């Protein structure tokens, strides 16, 4: 019923840091990525080759790319041809393009209409493939849009099939605002899996409403084996300050470990990475298993509260 093995695609150093106020120096990012690699994560997204003034937290991706520990496959976002050229020069084997399934979010996030984004990718994806790069595509707002509300899954599917036609190797479907429920996840995946292979799809779920693991479980039951997570849940939710955003890597890794589904991840080392992430970011992260692990490791710091 469940796949025997699952890949966790770590987005903390990119998606997580991009939404944190703290700007980490390259040395700290390298330390964090070393911990993530040591924990056994096999795919890590390290940053973005967008214009440095757009996302100052990620302005140093070129420098960071030259200092990565061996082992994992590293990826970065590329918004355009310049970004792709920078990613190739930096030696990254994987690049990611991104767009939304709702017009307003796509316009605000990328300054393009959906048709313009697809036209643009039709240029840069083949160029990346020609250079031997693995190309991941992100499709955001599939479960809901912060501006338009509900998104028609048929529309999201049309865009997804177009992205496959253009040459993308993998498609990560995003619940960008974390509003998805398990029934909706089943409905979306039932539709998508009529037209696309489960191995082509990844799920990028957010935990804003505490439903990310439930949605993951539906994905697992339907044959999805790639899930995007962020160490400690780093990044929060840009549309609901203070709320959880990306699903925490330790939360999914722990649940899968409990279910005896292999991830290749060493949980204790993952908690060490989470502890470092929290220290570097400077505030408590939302990951439940991380907080439980920290409570066990530093019992003196936990408040004495009545347990029910
Ligand atoms: Mg995210």
> Which pLDDT score, from 0 to 100, does residue 303 have?
53
Kindly tell me if the per-residue pLDDT of 238 is higher than 80: no
Catalytic residue among 145, 168, 216, 237: 237
Length of the chain: 308
Residues 6+ apart with CB under 8 A from 230: 10, 11, 12, 15, 16, 245, 246, 247, 248, 249
Kindly tell me if the per-residue pLDDT of 242 is higher than 80: no
> Which pLDDT score, from 0 to 100, does residue 87 have?
97
Distance 303 CA to ligand 1 centre (A): 31
Helix, strand and coil percent figures for the chain, each rounded to 5: 45, 15, 40
CATH fold of the domain at 7-307: TIM Barrel (3.20.20)
Q: How confident is the model at residue 307 (pLDDT cuts 50, 70, 90)?
A: low
Distance 271 CA to ligand 1 centre (A): 20
> Which pLDDT score, from 0 to 100, does residue 1 have?
87
> Which pLDDT score, from 0 to 100, does residue 151 have?
96
pLDDT tens for 280-291 read 999 999 999 999
Distance 176 CA to ligand 1 centre (A): 6
Domain ranges for the chain, please list them.
Answer: 7-307
Strands 134-140 and 170-174: parallel
Distance 250 CA to ligand 1 centre (A): 15
Distance 181 CA to ligand 1 centre (A): 17
Kindly tell me if the per-residue pLDDT of 302 is higher than 70: no
Burial of 43 (0-12, 13-18, 19+ CB in 10 A): buried
Chain center to CA of 249: 10
pTM (2 d.p.): 0.95
3-class DSSP state for residue 79?
coil
Q: Is 216 a catalytic residue?
A: no
pLDDT tens for 141-181 read 999 999 999 999 999 999 999 999 999 999 999 999 999 99
Kindly tell me if the per-residue pLDDT of 75 is higher than 60: yes
In whole angstroms, what is the distance from residue 203 CA to residue 224 CA? 8
Give the residue-averaged pLDDT of 122-130.
98
pLDDT tens for 44-61 read 999 999 887 877 877 899
Q: How many CB atoms lie within 10 A of CB 25?
A: 11
């Amino acid at each position: 019923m469940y796949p025997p093995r699952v890949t966790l695609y770590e987005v903390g150093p990119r998606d997580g840091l991009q939404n944190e106020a703290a700007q980490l120096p390259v040395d700290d990012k390298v330390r964090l990525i070393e911990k993530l690699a040591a924990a056994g994560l096999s795919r890590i997204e390290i940053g973005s080759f967008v214009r440095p003034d757009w996302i100052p937290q990620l302005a140093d991706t070129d420098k960071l790319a030259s200092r990565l520990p061996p082992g994992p496959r590293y990826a970065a976002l590329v918004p355009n041809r310049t970004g792709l050229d920078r990613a190739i020069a930096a030696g990254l084997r994987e690049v990611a393009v991104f767009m939304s399934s709702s017009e307003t979010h796509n316009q605000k996030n990328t300054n393009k209409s959906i048709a313009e984004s697809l036209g643009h990718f039709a240029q840069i994806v083949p160029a990346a493939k020609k250079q031997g790069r693995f190309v991941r595509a992100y499709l955001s707002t599939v479960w809901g849009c912060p501006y338009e509300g509900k998104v028609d899954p048929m529309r999201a599917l049309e865009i997804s099939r177009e992205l496959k036609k253009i040459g993308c190797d993998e498609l990560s479907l995003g619940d960008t605002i974390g509003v998805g429920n398990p029934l909706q996840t089943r409905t979306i995946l039932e539709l998508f899996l009529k037209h696309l292979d489960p191995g082509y799809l990844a799920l990028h779920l957010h935990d804003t409403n505490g439903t990310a693991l439930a949605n993951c479980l539906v994905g697992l039951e339907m044959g999805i084996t790639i899930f995007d997570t962020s160490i400690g849940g780093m990044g929060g939710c840009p549309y609901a300050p203070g709320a959880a955003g990306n699903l925490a890597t330790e939360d999914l890794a722990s649940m899968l470990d409990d279910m005896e589904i292999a991830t290749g991840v060493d949980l204790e080392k993952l908690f060490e990475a989470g502890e470092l992430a929290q220290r570097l970011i400077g505030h408590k992260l939302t990951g439940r298993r991380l907080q439980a692990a920290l409570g066990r490791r530093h019992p003196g710091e936990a408040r004495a509260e009545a347990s029910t």
